[in-house]
Amino acid sequence: MSLRAKLLQWLVITLMAVNVAAAAAAYWLAWIPAQSALDQSLADAAWALVPHVKEKDSSVELRLSQQAEQILRVDHLDEVFFVVRDMSGKTIAGDRDFPVMQVPEKNKPWIAYGSRMRGEDVRVISLRTQVGGETVLIGAAETRVKRQEIRFRILLSLFALELLLVLLIPLVVWLVLKRGLQPLRDMESNLERRTSDDLSPLPLQNAPEEIVPFIRAMNELLNRVQGNARARQDFLANAAHQLRTPLAGFKAQLEWLRAHHRSDTETTESTSLMLASTERMARQANQLLALARSEPGDFERHRLEQLSLDALVSESVQHFVEEALKKNIDIGFDLQPTRVAGDRFLLRDMIDNLVDNAIRYSPNGSLVTVSCLQVDGHGILMVEDSGPGIPESEKERVFNRFYRLDQSQPGTGLGLAIVRDIARDHDAVIELRPGPEGKGTVFVVRFP
């Protein structure tokens, strides 16, 4: 279960429980004042009888006209009863079946309580007063129709409010959690948008205090990984650089040896094999150096400059022609003036790897075309080969390091990975298209 789901579950359950408790408290806070107001009204009716209770010939009687009595008993919803009794419980006036009356305490002039009369629940007010020298009890009672209606309205209002809160609480909690967890989602989006080689620190601006330690720990981890990547990158660059010089010297010695022993067939054949191996080693060293240079950590130390892409291709034309002649490949160039912002060495590495890849995978006697042009402000480099083509399902995988589409061809599987990294460093887009009539592949690099 996700953290959001757990928080949502516990917050909703807790708030629902608190809401139920608050509803019960609200019910009593609403009902008790209403009950007190109704009791006070009934007590006022009992107090209205006090002036009509008189002492006559050592006895107490109620002097109340019939009209006044009718007014006293009038109620649109409830039946009203009254009685006057002495302290012994003898009824002096009023309803003789009036319930047994409770005697108020000395510090309370009247009390209210529930009872039953004529088969119905009633609310009773018992009032004590002095008439002459005698203490009498005056009682007033009414049925509970009005009170039940008020209670029902209170309950109905609270039920409607509770139903609304039951619907709103999960929504409000979800919205609050969504807003509260937004920094985590921002961090997740930040990490998802990154490429595999982007190890820059996560931003701490506007981050809640609770996740700042987590972000700092993540940044420390990213720094350690970046340090390890930089150390590996430096090692590759240093190793490749150190290998290039002795390999170049070894190649020169082998070429001298072959030139001076042409008459010895075995020596010539052996030196040719050694030269081929040396060239492969030199090419792999150059690729390792290009790979190290294309890493973001190293690329950030270079400043982009305005370059002529057609001139960069022209600088390597002779080398490309020599490599193509070895396989009797007709290599053509269509170099129009093309300006791009880039790093000279990295772009040379990109061009070398793209053209070398085209020559390597094209069959003997085929055609390779290298073009560069300017379209709508974009610098475009295109390399078209006559190879077997790249299946749709493999178009993304061919840019992975050490992945080789044709295992029979010599190589390390780094060439296109280097091309991808250099293109990414320059914010360029690589597009793979099928060649004419579906044969071969056209690599298109579009610079911003």
Among 285, 301, 317, which residue terminates a domain?
A: 301
- Which whole number is the average pLDDT over 94-115? 89
pLDDT above 70 for 235: no
Residue 29's domain is classified under what CATH number? 3.30.450
Same domain, 7 and 125: yes
Q: Which residue has the tokens 């510090």?
A: 107
User: Domain limits at 276?
Assistant: 194-301
pLDDT for 180: 73
pLDDT for 381: 86
d(CA 361, CA 108) in angstroms, rounded, equals 110
Is the CB of residue 39 less than 8 Å from the CB of residue 47? Answer: no
d(CA 418, CA 227) in angstroms, rounded, equals 21
Whether 407 is covered by a domain: the verdict is yes
Residue 308's domain is classified under what CATH number? 3.30.565.10
Among 97, 129, 151, which residue terminates a domain?
A: 151
Q: Which helix (H) or strand (E) holds 226?
A: helix 212-260
Same domain, 276 and 333: no
111 falls in which pLDDT band (50, 70, 90)? Answer: very high
pLDDT above 70 for 300: no
pLDDT for 243: 62
For the ranges 112-121, 170-179, 311-320, 389-398, which has the lowest average pLDDT?
Answer: 389-398
How does pLDDT run across 420-437, given as a tens digit for each residue? 877 887 788 888 887 777
d(CA 314, CA 105) in angstroms, rounded, equals 116
d(CA 269, CA 279) in angstroms, rounded, equals 15
Same domain, 397 and 325: yes
CB-CB neighbours of 363 under 10 Å = 13
pLDDT above 90 for 123: yes
Which of 3-17, 198-212, 366-380 tops mean pLDDT? Answer: 366-380
pLDDT for 350: 82
Residue 204's domain is classified under what CATH number? 1.10.287
pLDDT for 141: 92
d(CA 156, CA 134) in angstroms, rounded, equals 48
Same domain, 319 and 432: yes
Residue type, 407: Q
Same domain, 314 and 295: no
How does pLDDT run across 330-374, given as a tens digit for each residue? 888 888 888 888 877 778 878 888 888 888 778 888 888 888 888
Whether 19 is covered by a domain: the verdict is yes
Same domain, 255 and 335: no
Is the CB of residue 386 less than 8 Å from the CB of residue 365? Answer: no
pLDDT for 287: 62
pLDDT for 142: 92
Whether 390 is covered by a domain: the verdict is yes
Is the CB of residue 246 less than 8 Å from the CB of residue 233? Answer: no
Whether 105 is covered by a domain: the verdict is yes
Same domain, 308 and 335: yes
14, 23, 125, 166 from 17: Cα distances, Å: 5, 10, 38, 11
Q: Is 331 helix (H, G, I), strand (E, B) or coil?
A: strand
Same domain, 115 and 144: yes
Whether 172 is covered by a domain: the verdict is no
Of 406 and 392, the structure prediction assigns the larger pLDDT to 392
Per the structure, the count of domains in the chain is 3
Is the CB of residue 346 less than 8 Å from the CB of residue 422? Answer: yes
d(CA 435, CA 314) in angstroms, rounded, equals 23
Whether 186 is covered by a domain: the verdict is no
- Which whole number is the average pLDDT over 165-169? 82
Whether 158 is covered by a domain: the verdict is no
For the ranges 39-43, 84-88, 186-190, which has the lowest average pLDDT?
Answer: 186-190
* Long-range contacts formed by 309-312: CB under 8 A, 24+ apart: 309/338, 309/339, 309/340, 309/347, 309/372, 309/379, 309/381, 309/447, 310/335, 310/336, 310/337, 310/338, 310/372, 312/344, 312/347, 312/348, 312/351
pLDDT above 70 for 14: yes
Is the CB of residue 137 less than 8 Å from the CB of residue 86? Answer: yes
Same domain, 336 and 219: no
Q: Which residue has the tokens 């400059």?
A: 305
pLDDT for 301: 44
d(CA 368, CA 436) in angstroms, rounded, equals 12
Same domain, 243 and 103: no
Residue type, 230: R
Whether 156 is covered by a domain: the verdict is no
260, 263, 326 from 257: Cα distances, Å: 5, 11, 21
d(CA 389, CA 374) in angstroms, rounded, equals 26
Same domain, 404 and 327: yes
Closest CA to 42 of 114, 139, 109: 139
pLDDT above 80 for 60: no
Angle among Cα 309, 315, 316 to the nearest 5 degrees reads: 105
Is the CB of residue 84 less than 8 Å from the CB of residue 62? Answer: yes
Among 126, 151, 176, which residue terminates a domain?
A: 151
Same domain, 142 and 44: yes
Whether this model's pTM surpasses 0.95: no
d(CA 93, CA 86) in angstroms, rounded, equals 10
Q: Which two tokens stand for residue 112?
A: 């209210």
Q: Which residues are within 8 A (CB) of 184 and not within 5 positions of it... i.e. 6 or more apart?
A: 211
If you average pLDDT over every residue of the chain, what do you get? 78
